[in-house]
Chains A and B, each alone.
Chain A
């Protein structure tokens, strides 16, 4: 209010003086006016100028002592950094009313400032919470094993987790905000992102499969893509999120399952084909000779046995692999198992005129294992050796200690395995092409041996072989000290 009055005083002062002076000057310029008008104008100008000076002085005049008190009080408030009531309102004059108005205003300002402080504190807390949430989400994104990539409206990299860094070989810190084409080099994946950018408005979510690399190191990824669409009419793509899940293993398992089923059906159909053919021949009366018909019945019987053996083996292996067969481990002597196997195998060896030698150490090496499973495993290996060794050959079973393991070695001088097949013979249904004309097996024996030795007993099986010279299988089992 004081300001207003001062301004009013100054304005009045200038107006009075200005207009007065103007009127004073006019008669001097217009020489042609009558003398009376000139004199009147002169007088009016003088009067207005004097009135302006007096009015301005009167309006601007405020009691000095009261303004001094207000100034001192305000200075004091500033020093204390306080906000609040300031003026005495006791006087009923204009200054008293001004004091009241200022007090109301100051109270209002004080409340506003307090409210602003409160809001600012709340905002700070909100920011901290949001910051914590953002860090939490980021750490979650970084912790998930799936690769996550987020791109912005211009195809620039906005977010990527460590899994994504590993998949695409880049460092997020140095790649952030760069165009995705500069970060990722794989053309196939870039094409997927490109298509997403082009069609994302119409198909915002999709899942595609992407194969990275080739050959044995090829990895298959299931890529889940989401477009972030913005705008009132959802007319603008503001980014894309790609989540990559490694399905290489799943694919491999699916393929193995399919191969397994296909192999099983093939293996079952083969003896079934013999049975059907032989039965039909007997029905059709193609076999007249009693000796020959007996031979036919024997073939049917042996093929039936083969099918049944195959089914048993499939079930055994499947139960074993799925952990359904209880494992009963005790401390036992390997030598005793080898002796039992050798005893059981001797008749077959004798029949083929094969020398079955056992070289068992005088010390009974002890291991911790399931006797029945180990017996079956060793029996399978020795039986294979006899099967794939021609008449008159030799099979030698021995045992020794090596690197804390008890090794069971089964060596033959039979047909041998080609080097390219050596690592595959433990696969289910794998048959080496050079097995000679040996009796057909189920193709599951060595798969079972490998499972029993390596998975059930934590041991190791390997084979050394040479075509025409024979094979040596070594089954290593952890020794009990």
Chain B
């Protein structure tokens, strides 16, 4: 059974290219273009994993993570993509199921490798 991944980014070219890379590797991908849409999709699809941008109109990546964690048991393991990496206060990530923070510009190749690595880990790690 293929694993389900949700990709959320308000930059359509980014969301699309990430989706394409993951799909080519055999993952089942859903794309959302803002935080609100991603939240709805996640509740409907129950993805195994999520890749989200930090800054999105309406609902930010962190808010999305937190709301899903409150809604779904344990939340959705997440990779946070951001162009503001070094300004991110680690305390804002505390308690959220964020497994990695990757800074933009990023390599789709590395992103895929990271997703595969994290998905291979036993649940809850």
Residues of chain A in range 68-103 having any CB-CB distance to chain B below 8 Å? none
Q: Say whether B17 faces chain A, with CB atoms less than 8 Å apart.
A: yes
Instruction: Give the chain B neighbours of A432 by CB distance below 8 A.
Output: 57
Asked if B13 contacts A278 (CB within 8 A), the reply is: yes
Instruction: Give the chain A neighbours of B12 by CB distance below 8 A.
Output: 437
**Other-chain residue from B13, B21, B34, B84 in contact with A266 (beta carbon distance below 8 A):** B84
Task: Pick from A17-25, A116-124, A279-287 the stretch touching chain B.
Answer: A279-287
Residues of chain B in range 10-38 having any CB-CB distance to chain A below 8 Å? 11-14, 17-18, 20-21, 24, 33-34
Q: Report Cα–Cα, A433/B63, bound state, in Å.
A: 14
Q: Say whether B95 faces chain A, with CB atoms less than 8 Å apart.
A: no
Q: Say whether A275 faces chain B, with CB atoms less than 8 Å apart.
A: yes
Q: Report Cα–Cα, A273/B16, bound state, in Å.
A: 13
Asked if A281 contacts B57 (CB within 8 A), the reply is: no
Asked if A437 contacts B83 (CB within 8 A), the reply is: no
Asked if B104 contacts A269 (CB within 8 A), the reply is: yes
**Per-position contact with B for A456-480: 1 when CB-CB < 8 Å, else 0?**
0000000000000000000000000
**Per-position contact with B for A297-309: 1 when CB-CB < 8 Å, else 0?**
0010001000000
Q: Say whether B117 faces chain A, with CB atoms less than 8 Å apart.
A: no
Asked if A278 contacts B84 (CB within 8 A), the reply is: no
Q: Interface range on chain B: under 10, 10 to 19, 20 to 34, or 35 or more?
A: 20 to 34
Instruction: Give the chain B neighbours of A303 by CB distance below 8 A.
Output: 13
Asked if A269 contacts B105 (CB within 8 A), the reply is: yes
Q: Report Cα–Cα, A276/B105, bound state, in Å.
A: 7
Tell me, rounded to whole Å, the shortest Cβ–Cβ distance linking A300 to chain B.
9
Tell me, rounded to whole Å, the shortest Cβ–Cβ distance linking B38 to chain A.
14
Asked if B17 contacts A274 (CB within 8 A), the reply is: yes
Q: Report Cα–Cα, A437/B34, bound state, in Å.
A: 9
Known: A281-B17, A434-B57. A270 touches B109 (CB 8 A): no
Q: Say whether A277 faces chain B, with CB atoms less than 8 Å apart.
A: yes
Residues of chain A in range 419-446 having any CB-CB distance to chain B below 8 Å? 431-435, 437, 440
Q: Say whether B87 faces chain A, with CB atoms less than 8 Å apart.
A: yes
Tell me, rounded to whole Å, the shortest Cβ–Cβ distance linking B123 to chain A.
29
Instruction: Give the chain A neighbours of B124 by CB distance below 8 A.
Output: none
Instruction: Give the chain A neighbours of B24 by CB distance below 8 A.
Output: 286
Instruction: Give the chain B neighbours of A36 by CB distance below 8 A.
Output: none
Residue of chain B at shortest CB distance from A266:
B83
Instruction: Give the chain A neighbours of B20 by CB distance below 8 A.
Output: 281, 286
Known: A262-B87, A286-B24, A303-B13. A431 touches B57 (CB 8 A): yes
Residues of chain B in range 46-65 having any CB-CB distance to chain A below 8 Å? 55, 57-58
Asked if B83 contacts A277 (CB within 8 A), the reply is: no
Q: Say whether A328 faces chain B, with CB atoms less than 8 Å apart.
A: no
Known: A266-B83, A281-B21. A437 touches B105 (CB 8 A): no
Q: Which 5 A-B pairs have the closest CB atoms?
A: A273-B104, A269-B83, A276-B105, A273-B105, A433-B57
Residues of B within 8 A of A (CB): 11-14, 17-18, 20-21, 24, 33-34, 55, 57-58, 83-84, 87, 104-109
Residues of A within 8 A of B (CB): 262, 265-266, 269-270, 272-278, 280-281, 284, 286, 299, 303, 431-435, 437, 440
Known pairs A276-B107, A278-B17; list 12 more (Cβ under 8 Å). Answer: A262-B87, A273-B83, A273-B105, A274-B17, A277-B13, A277-B14, A277-B108, A278-B13, A281-B21, A281-B108, A432-B57, A435-B57
